[in-house]
Amino acid sequence: MSTGNLIEARGLTLRYGSKVAVDDVSFTVPPGRVVGLLGHNGAGKTTLMKALVGLMKAGGGLTVLGRDPVRERVALLEEACYIADVATLPRWARVSELIAMMSGLHPRFSSERALQLLRRTSVTPRDRVKSLSKGMVAQVHLALIAAIDARLMILDEPTLGLDVLSRKSFYEMLIDEWCDGQRSVIVSTHQVEEIESLLSDVLMLNEGRLVLSTSLEEIDGRFVALSHDAAAAERVAAAHPLLRYRVQGGSAALFDGPPPDDVLSLGRRVRPSLVDLFVALTRRPEMNRTQFEEPAR
């Protein structure tokens, strides 16, 4: 699997004993992408991220930055950053001590870069972790990770438990200071509506299976949402949309591809949101998963 992609997964399967957590998943991540990894709790997101950084051995084929994540994990982690959903910083430490520790641990870490990133926040190097709010700790964590000269960042629910302003600050710093058109980010989150505008691509898991792998640009071209009034509800429903839902002033239906012309004429085409698409594709575990699979670009 020697291509320019940062990640290549083919038929990836991960198990906990007899339980299949990730089931025959295939996708690619090229350079310069911001990929949202979406799915309900238990969908397999964290398991997949662990495999990407060599914490779990997977069946199938997987290369990350051209390396086998398990056999070449030490070399991989020089070029890939990972913040787990349970990641913590030592509460006793000052921020300056964390920077010094990272300088000794990681060959690609830049103290100057970390201090530069911290200037975007209200955190100072003298502050102890225990004196910081959750939002400040998240910003420190991102500053430490983003100060590594890496090509791939993997974030598992990085803003879990933060208020909306802290989440906004975190993502602003991530996009402004780390994404440069060559590096890629995979971010798992439940705040789908908050990060939709930041994403270039989406990977959507449902019960361990990949139900969507595509770019946001392709979503706009492929999926059609139709706003309609109550009088047209039965005729729209007869066209078998993926999802029917309420919108301001009436109802809407979401289709995979354009509905028939006679149905399209019953309403007004509107842009489908990623949240509506998420609901449509993950609420029906019995659906044919191949219907929704496309390679990420």
Structural domain boundaries of the chain?
218-287
- Name the strands in the sheet holding 80-83, side by side, starting at the edge strand that comes first in the sequence: 80-83, 152-156, 184-188, 34-38, 201-206, 209-215
pLDDT tens track for 134-157: 999 999 999 999 999 999 999 999
Tens-binned pLDDT, residue by residue, of the chain (297 aa): 445 899 999 999 999 988 999 999 999 999 999 999 999 988 999 999 999 999 999 999 999 999 999 999 999 999 999 998 766 899 999 999 999 999 999 999 999 999 999 999 999 999 999 999 999 999 999 999 999 999 999 999 998 888 899 999 999 999 999 998 899 999 998 888 889 999 999 999 999 999 999 999 999 889 999 999 989 999 999 999 999 998 877 899 999 998 999 999 999 988 888 999 999 999 754 443 333 344 344
Give the pTM.
0.89
What's the CA dihedral at 142, 132, 161, 272 to 10 degrees?
-50
User: What pLDDT, on the 0 to 100 scale, is given for residue 91?
Assistant: 92
